[in-house]
Amino acid sequence: MSNTTCSSQNLNVKHVATLFEEVQNRYIKKLTTIDEKHLPTDERHKQKLAVYESYVKDLSIQTRLLLQSLDELEKEANQRVTLLENKLKKAHASLQQHHSLSDVTKSVSSIESEKWKLNHENLDLKHDLDSLTTFINTAKRTGKWDTKRLQLKTVPLDRIIGISNDDIHPTVPLHKEIQYRDERIQVLQAEIEQLRKTKNELVKQTSNRQSSFSSFMGEDDSKEQNIILSKKVEDLRAKLVEDCQKTETLKMDIRHKTNELKELQEEFQQNKQRYDEHIHDLSTKLKTITDRHRESTTSLNNDIKIKKQQIEQYTQQIEQILNEKVQLENERNDLQRQYRVKDSITADLEVQIRNLQRELTSNNYPIIPIQPVESTVPKIEYEKLDQELHLTKKRLDGITAELKTKDALINKLEQDLRALKKSHDEQLDQHIETSTNDAEQLHTEIRALKRLCEEKKDQV
């Protein structure tokens, strides 16, 4: 299930990266198409600005989607960590249960084996007691020791016939030796008490017989029983030592397993802490990237607004200058037309004067010498006309100079506008590149987190 989820997430990440590239290529194609079109500068800049605004909006939407994806990945990582913790707890509980069941099984099997051994030993002891009773009765009746028919299972015959007082070992008090042991020792104590009762019964039975022989045989029987009990106690001691060794071995195993479990828990806590720190770092980086993207987006929007205002101002100035240029050109044309009209009037007057002179010459009238225009036209009017002509020329020259100034200003404004567009394009490209790098860095961090989660899952 988790492997399928990880693979689907990897496919989603690849799909998102592909979509980013497609969106970027689409906007690049739009900008290339606008550049290829032979559009006016203002129209081209407006279309590019609209494309950039659309691209910034798409980047904002994609950033929000990335933030949502990262939140989902963080939640999924926390869920996986919780799942691993639950699995570890279940494994620890099952391990403890397994240890407890194995301990109970071993103790039950050891108790059953001891019970089986004690039952067989009890049967052997009963057989030996019956054989000894028969042997004693036969000896009392016949007065002979018939040892050929005496068959014992627990005690060899020479220990009964050839025993001496020096070889008798004193009876060891059992309560001081085994009072701190568990239920298995208590069961053994119960068996020993039962043997003691059997011994007492045998002593009572033999006391009712003949005094000398009975006392002798009772003493021998008591000694034999003491020897059997001493051997039984030694066997019990050896068994207790062996059980204690087994118990210590099991305790060592339990301590070893407990230490291993503690090491696993510590390792798990360290890995969890490392993952939490890594997730915290990723969250901090994501927050930083988001804040930086928000700040850059805000700054870019403000710059776009300022650039728009500047572009509008430049456009208005250009339009105003163009209108003034048109007006000045119209005035220049009017002045040139007036100048041409005055020139044509002057030329017509001169032509009329020449015609009149020719007529007078043909009619033999005395030729009046042609006076200059200053003498024929009143001086005031002439000065006025001359002054108007001078003003007209001066105004024409001023308009021509102003037109050249306006043309230079228009060229300068167009250069400033192109520089402004170029700066805006560079800032926007830099912002797009920064956003792309941040997104790639975020994708790298997400892939690293996924890889760590998969490695941890494989280790568990």
Lowest average pLDDT, out of 10-14, 224-228, 247-251, goes to: 10-14
Residue with tokens 């710059």: 303
Rounded Cα–Cα distance for residues 391 and 289 (Å): 69
**pLDDT over threshold 70, residue 376:** no
Per-residue pLDDT band for 304 (boundaries 50, 70, 90) equals confident
Lowest average pLDDT, out of 164-178, 235-249, 385-399, goes to: 164-178
What DSSP element (H or E) covers 112?
helix 41-142
Angle at alpha carbon of residue 299, lines to 58 and 410, rounded to 5° = 100
Q: Which of 47-61, 93-107, 255-269, 427-441 has the highest mean pLDDT?
A: 47-61
pLDDT on residue 104: 55
Lowest average pLDDT, out of 35-39, 128-132, 242-246, 300-304, goes to: 242-246
Lowest average pLDDT, out of 18-27, 376-385, 413-422, goes to: 376-385
Tokens at 4, concatenated: 């399928």
The DSSP 8-state label assigned to residue 169 in this structure reads: P
74, with CB counted inside 10 A (0-12, 13-18, 19+), is middle
Decide: 128 and 155 in contact? Cβ < 8 Å. Answer: yes
pLDDT on residue 181: 47
**pLDDT over threshold 50, residue 166:** no
Phi and psi dihedrals of 138, rounded to 5?
A: -65, -40
Higher pLDDT, 447 or 99: 447
**pLDDT over threshold 80, residue 392:** no
Residue with tokens 């939490």: 276
HSE-CB of 460 using CA atoms within 13 angstroms: 21
Rounded Cα–Cα distance for residues 452 and 6 (Å): 12
Interval 337-362 mean pLDDT: 76
pLDDT on residue 1: 45
Interval 223-233 mean pLDDT: 65
| DSSP for 10-28, written as a single string | HHHHHHHHHHHHHHHHHHH
Interval 46-64 mean pLDDT: 79
Nearest to 258 by CA among 95, 105, 460, 459: 95
Per-residue pLDDT band for 221 (boundaries 50, 70, 90) equals low
**pLDDT over threshold 70, residue 251:** no
Residue with tokens 């019956």: 130
**pLDDT over threshold 50, residue 214:** no
The domains of the chain are located at: 105-265
416-432: pLDDT as tens digits:
777 877 877 787 777 77
Rounded Cα–Cα distance for residues 313 and 307 (Å): 10
Mean pLDDT over each residue of the chain, to the nearest integer = 69
Tokens at 409, concatenated: 């200003």
Higher pLDDT, 83 or 428: 83
pLDDT on residue 101: 58
CB atoms within 10 A of CB 120: 11
Query: What is the C-alpha radius of gyration for the chain, rounded to an integer number of angstroms?
Result: 62
CB atoms within 10 A of CB 193: 11
pLDDT on residue 288: 78
Higher pLDDT, 100 or 401: 401
Higher pLDDT, 8 or 248: 248
Cβ partners under 8 Å of residue 300, min gap 6: 56, 427, 428, 431
Higher pLDDT, 427 or 162: 427
pLDDT on residue 170: 38
Q: Which amino acid is at 421?
A: K
Lowest average pLDDT, out of 10-14, 20-24, 46-50, goes to: 10-14
**pLDDT over threshold 80, residue 119:** no
Per-residue pLDDT band for 187 (boundaries 50, 70, 90) equals low
Residue with tokens 């403890």: 96
Q: Which amino acid is at 382?
A: Y
CB atoms within 10 A of CB 30: 17
